[in-house]
Structure 1
Amino acid sequence: MAAKDNKPTCPSYNDGAAYFDMGEHTLRIPMSLHTENRRRLQERLKARGLGGGDVVLLQGGSDSTRYSGDADNVFQQEPYFHWAFGALEPGWYGALDVASGRAVLFCPRLPEEYATWMGRIRTPQEYRQRLQVDEVRYVDEIADVLREMTGQAGTLHTLRGVNTDSGKTTLEAAFDGISRFNVNNTLLHDEIAECRVYKTKAEIEVLRFATRVSAAAHCSVMRKIRPGMKEYQLEAIFQYHSYYHGGCRHQGYTNICGSGCNAATLHYGHAGDPNLRTVGETDICLFDMGAEYYGYTSDITCSFPANGKFSNDQKLIYNAVLKASKAVMAAVRPGVSWVEMHRLAYRMMLEALKEGGVVQGDVDKMMEVNLGSVFMPHGLGHLMGLDVHDVGGYLEQYPPRPTPAGFRSLRTARTLEENMVLTIEPGCYFIDHLLDQALANPEQAQFLVPEAIARFRGFGGVRIEDDIVITADGMEDLAGDTIPRTVEEIEALMAEGQQEEVLVPQLHAQQKLDQ
């Protein structure tokens, strides 16, 4: 019989280790990331006068199945809970004592049969060591432990607030017996959301890793694209590369793989249009895809010609967007208004479109009638972190959402500050109903060149999206120099890829049922 020490084991990820990774080729993340996040939250709450008897309580996400069936949805942790505690399993709660910083997690007490179907049951002590908290108890003990933490006169602070991007209300902690506690659900939301706006060094490192994995995956798509492929086949290349090479199991959002006219649909790729068009020889492609690592996401858009060579019209529109992107990147720094950056993007793009003969007249007057919103109806970018459209954009103490077209799609109107992470994503699209509205509006129609507008109908669009962090004196592109951005760089990368052999899966028509 083999000695006990030599007994084979089947460890799960990072058993006993106080870090997360997906293998030696991926980023190792220490659980001190969450310790630092809790400390920051504790300091903010103390500054609001909280102390003895005040306890933050967050509830993690729950497992769910597809409708009435028993097929599991792939679980992803609730972001506020993940930000504070790092536990990736469903059914957990976490508590933070504001006065002392003591952190207690509560895990489900699993039945014996769990070990048969789902794997070894870990002890609270194992979780405590891995997650680097003060204590791990069972969920069925939560009322007794929280009473000990709050005392008779203390307060539980639960998370309740509305996400200004989704319009959804946050998951507020609830458990049997909570009615016997003093509960405050009005203070925590804005304080923890504000913490999430400013990223720590550890969080920026995770976001940098996710961004660079995504950048490499985009480059793989550009090398492997061939006219005749389906859009979803190119999406599959991105997903394969980001998961196989970067350990990014999840995508930050539904991938947008628009070719030709589909490149003008801002959120293409949804269930009604699931990236299913065949890519044409002369198409412009707009691929907006971002991988997620340890809950932290990236969000990158690359636009390029399907055949690897920009036409004159494609080059005109691409360079107009690139001009806007470069101008914003040169201007962002602490103290700059994000609304003004949106306005700068419009101006730069309109100047380039005027040079290309798409619009005519005085650019200042075009700005007065908001002509830029005809070509770019979305906002310049958004905060990014554990959510692709991250929280904190419109908290009560900051400027409200602007109202003009285009500007009202901005996901924040804040002034930029160091350690904010945002996307910069100017775009230029030819969307029929917006063009029709502009042509019917004398204030805007006077600036449009009708022949050029007619030529670009059906063109699609171009977007260039980069992920940045605001630094003390400017910004850092989290992807570094890994993404080709100029026309020449893109054409060179795609020419290299065209020398490689690519296996294109053959698509066969569905056989008739009677065969």
Structure 2
Amino acid sequence: MLSSGKGTLKIPLELFSLNRERLVNRLKENGNSGVVILQGGEEVSFYDTDTTYNVFRQESYFIWAFGVTEPGCYGAIDILSGVTILFIPRHPAEYAFWMGPLPTPSDFSTKYGISKVCYVDEIKEVIAGLKSSQILTLKGLNTDSHLTAKPARFPGIEEFKIDEESLFPVIADLRVYKTPLEIRVIKYVVAVSSYAHRRIMKMIKPGDWEYQAESEFLNICYKKGGCRHASYTCICGSGVNGAILHYGHAGAPNKSPIQDGVLCLFDMGANYFGYAADITCTFPANGKFTDDQRLIYEAVLKANFAVQKAAKPGVSWVDMHLLANRVMLKEMKTIGLLKGNLDDMIESGLAAIFQPHGLGHLMGLDVHDVGGYLASNPKRPEKLGLNKLRTARVLEANMVLTIEPGCYFIDPLLDKALQDEKLSQYLVPEVLERFRGFGGVRIEDDVLITENGVLNLTCVPRTVEEIEDWINNNQVDELKYQDSERLFVW
């Protein structure tokens, strides 16, 4: 079992052996043979110092297959026999002075349930002993980052026949469908993240600073759930900063004071042994929505709920995005921000002015998980708005995704739309002007696609009434994880 310690979720090693078994079976079905070689992550030095960037986090494909959290390792899986071999660094004696006792192959074998463990400097000899026809390495495009997965490399690999084509589409597709053991971990990290969001909603007040919300979230997730990592940089935008989609980065580091009367848009998710959560809560800093804030919030919430009700196996994610757009635009027309025919608005791409991102994304070992666009799946749509979708797949059971419609008032986009003859006909400028500087609303839930539809794993107050009641009253709140469909009581 792997865990962060007392009171945290214990992850059975079977989770990773099952993933290896799935991989071997799929490769065999495809007629592949040889040895799969995956290279784990390396610690990266902070420029020219002997200090590394943050706390090491393992490469996602590697942890999916082996569960190993230490840097500098390799793993091999013989396709025909299913035999797994782990390769670990051979550290010098001085390692023990600074880093603790020298780990042995036996230590790793016990920890990760892999019977054969060798040193990395033995990899060429050991692989040659398998007498395999070829090595399968990982190389393929991540369609979110547009970066390529790094194929394994070790001294002497050039002496083997290398297949860089067969592995990636298989392992990336397998990661899309979560096993029950993976779902259990995801439920846990979403539960921890939900609890932290609920605590932040009660703690943050006008006069606090955005960075304090980030600090408290990271502290709660680690202290209560053993989540040492966050899945991405925390987004803690207040007021107009809520309209910056990836606020919180180095150029805009959650550094503003939180004013009375503004909305807080906090997008934060913990990470547990690689598995991600990704939740966004939008709430009034002072605990009370203004009339305009309520109008926009409820438009986005209706879009979120509509998708949760409609999403199920066999449904296209593109259609879910369009459904969310339709619901939100209809509400914005009702409150006087827009005018004209709803179908025409959808066709024109108007929704992308207010929600320039896609409806959501696959989630697992990466917060924007792999497999969104593979050769066997629908291609990325080209139409405005739809071209930002991180996947266009048809939904299937055991996928985990985020549902995160949003509505933002972003001056450059609004100005562009007002000057566009096709788009400006739907806008009501005098009403739109009222929302300049408003910021934005995003409501993001982590959901599991089941045979019957959607299971929402997120547990935070969502309606206006629930949020105001939660912030302004003294309900007792505890972190209660259990293996059931509802993880928290609040």
What is the TM-score with the length of structure 1 in the denominator? 0.91
1:361-397 deviation digits (Å, cap 9, x = unpaired): 2212211212111111100000001110000001011
Aligned pairs (5 A) from 1:86-485: 86-151=67-132, 154-479=133-458, 482-485=459-462
**Partners of 2:431 and 2:476 in 1: CA distance:** 35
C-alpha distance in 2, partners of 1:44/1:301? 36
Rounded to whole Å, the distance in 1 between the matches of 2:476 and 2:18 is 48
Does the CA contact (< 8 Å) of 1:223 and 1:497 recur in 2? Answer: no
Cα-to-partner distance string for 1:262-314 (whole Å, 9 max, x where unaligned): 00000101111000000000111100000000110100000001100000000
Aligned to 1:495: 472
Q: Distance in 2 between matches of 1:122 and 1:164?
A: 37
Equivalent residue, structure 2, for 1:11: none
Cα separation, 2, equivalents of 1:414 and 1:150? 39
Q: CA deviation at 1:424?
A: 0.3
Distance 2:116 2:88 in 1: 11
Identity %: 54
Alignment-mate amino acid for residue 426 of structure 1: P
Counterpart residue type for residue 494 of structure 1 = I
1:246 Cα offset (Å): 0.6
For the 8 Å contact 1:222–1:497, the answer to whether it is kept is no
- The alpha-carbon deviation at position 122 of structure 1 amounts to 2.0
Per-residue CA deviations over 1:173-208 (Å, capped at 9, x if unaligned) read 011111111111111011100110100001111111
Could you give the per-residue CA deviations for residues 154-173 of structure 1, whole angstroms, max 9, x where no partner exists?
10000011111001111210
Q: Kindly tell me: are residues 232 and 498 of structure 1, through their superposed partners in 2, closer, same or farther at Cα, counting changes over 3 Å?
A: farther
Residues of 1 paired with 2:432 and 2:419: CA distance?
13
In structure 2, do the counterparts of structure 1 residues 497 and 430 end up closer, same or farther at CA, with 3 Å as the change threshold? Answer: farther
- Secondary structure, counterpart of 1:69 in structure 2: coil
What's 2:484 paired with? none
1:46-85 CA-to-partner distances (Å, cap 9, x unmatched) read: 011124xx10000001111100111122211011011000
Distance between the aligned counterparts of 2:270 and 2:169, measured in 1? 27
Q: CA 1:497/1:443 → structure 2, altered by over 3 Å: closer, same or farther? A: farther
C-alpha distance in structure 2 between counterparts of 1:105 and 1:473, whole Å: 40
Q: Output the amino acid matched with 1:92.
A: C
2:44 pairs with 64, 83, 101, which one?
64
Distance 1:139 1:293 in 2: 27
The alpha carbon displacement at 1:134 in A equals 2.8
1: distance between equivalents of 2:394 and 2:377?
A: 9
2:2 maps to which of 8, 17, 20: 20
In structure 2, how many angstroms separate the alpha carbons of the residues matched to 1:369 and 1:497? 47
Work out whether residues 285 and 303 of structure 1, in 8 Å CA contact, stay in contact via their aligned partners in 2. Answer: yes
Report the residue type matching 1:123 in the other structure.
T
Q: Rg: which structure is higher?
A: 1
Report SS of the residue matched to 1:456: coil
Note if contact 1:102-1:134 (Cα within 8 Å) is conserved in structure 2: no
**Structure 1 ranges of 4+ moved more than 4 A:** 497-500
Distance 1:155 1:465 in 2: 44
Distance 2:42 2:346 in 1: 48
Distance 1:358 1:305 in 2: 21
Letter in 2 for 1:295: G
Opposite residue 425 of structure 2, the aligned amino acid is Q
1:300 & 1:49 partners in 2: Cα distance?
40
* CA distance 1:497–1:410, change in 2 (3 Å): farther
Deviations 1:14-35 (A, max 9, x none): xxxxx11112311100111000
Shift of 1:497: 5.8
Aligned residue identity for 1:69 = T
Deviation at 1:498, TM superposition (A): 11
Matched, 1:41 2:23: yes
2:56 is matched with which residue: 75, 87, 103? 75
CA–CA separation in structure 1 for the residues paired with 2:425 and 2:471: 39
Q: Secondary structure at the match of 2:466?
A: helix
Offset at 1:499? 12
- Aligned residue number for residue 29 of structure 1: 11
Structure 2 unaligned blocks of 5 or more: 478-490
Q: 1:120 to 1:393 in 2, by over 3 A?
A: same
Gaps of 5+ in 1: 1-18, 501-515
| Counterpart residue identity of residue 485, structure 1 | R
SS of match in other structure, 2:247: coil
Q: Which amino acid aligns with 2:312?
A: R
CA distance in structure 1 between the partners assigned to 2:274 and 2:58 by the alignment: 8
Distance in 1, matches of 2:318 and 2:258, equals 36
